[in-house]
Amino acid sequence: MSANLKYLSLGILVFQTTSLVLTMRYSRTLKEEGPRYLSSTAVVVAELLKIMACILLVYKESKCSLRALNRVLHDEILNKPMETLKLAIPSGIYTLQNNLLYVALSNLDAATYQVTYQLKILTTALFSVSMLSKKLGVYQWLSLVILMTGVAFVQWPSDSQLDSKELSAGSQFVGLMAVLTACFSSGFAGVYFEKILKETKQSVWIRNIQLVSFSLEPSL
């Protein structure tokens, strides 16, 4: 049962990640009359939905009691200001990253973006080694080298790309720089967040509420 749940979760994650990229790319390149929506607005709406979902999950863990929910939020967030402040750094980085992803998808095709963004696996591994003192085996380092090689081949221009005038070289460079910056920010923020989770006993839902509470202001 646990194995089936694991593979089901993996399948849902793959579908969600792929569909997110395709819908974001479609929404940023769709040619319609009138102004296009602001990417910063989409980031703010996503943060609001995230904090509402986390509050609902904490509410469920509190046995659907508003009084218990209020006590948990007060004790875990307001009464622990130093613990809450630790999330200010990754929340700001995540805000920058989420905005950069819209910039990248506005200037790169979905396939190039998706493959290039997998470099976050490499940056996460490097930050894990330096910040968490993790040790990677030979096969893990070999996998990272293969990943880098694959990303390099994806960026290699083909004849059809040279003939295509859909995206200028300047816009492709902007998109590439945006996605590379997002990879480094994702790797650092993810490892930093993991380190905080391991050092404390607070639930991931409480930590996400703390994250969003700091990211809403710069997003707005």
Token pair of 166 as six digits = 């859909």
pLDDT tens per residue across span 137-179: 888 888 888 888 887 777 666 555 544 545 455 588 888 899 9
Separation of alpha carbons 176 and 187, rounded Å: 17
Residue 117 gets which letter from DSSP? G
Measured at the alpha carbon of residue 52, what is the angle toward residues 51 and 54, in degrees to the nearest 5? 65
pLDDT tens per residue across span 76-104: 888 888 888 888 888 999 999 999 999 99
C-alpha distances in angstroms, 125 versus 18, 132, 180? Answer: 22, 10, 15
Looking up tokens 């391991």 gives 198
DSSP string, 5-51: HHHHHHHHHHHHHHHHHHHHHHHHH---SSPPPPHHHHHHHHHHHHH
Nearest C-alpha neighbor of 58 from the set 83, 81, 77, 84? 77
CB atoms within 10 A of CB 65: 11
3-state secondary structure of 24: helix
Give counts: helices (H), strands (E), the chain: 11, 0
Percent of the chain with pLDDT over 70: 92
The pLDDT value recorded for residue 71 is: 92
Token pair of 82 as six digits = 């130093």
The pLDDT value recorded for residue 136 is: 84
Q: Would you state the torsion angle of the CA atoms of residues 47, 41, 109, 26, taken in this order, to the nearest 10 degrees?
A: 100
- Those residues with Cβ within 8 angstroms of residue 141's Cβ, 6 or more apart along the chain or in another chain: none
The pLDDT value recorded for residue 163 is: 47
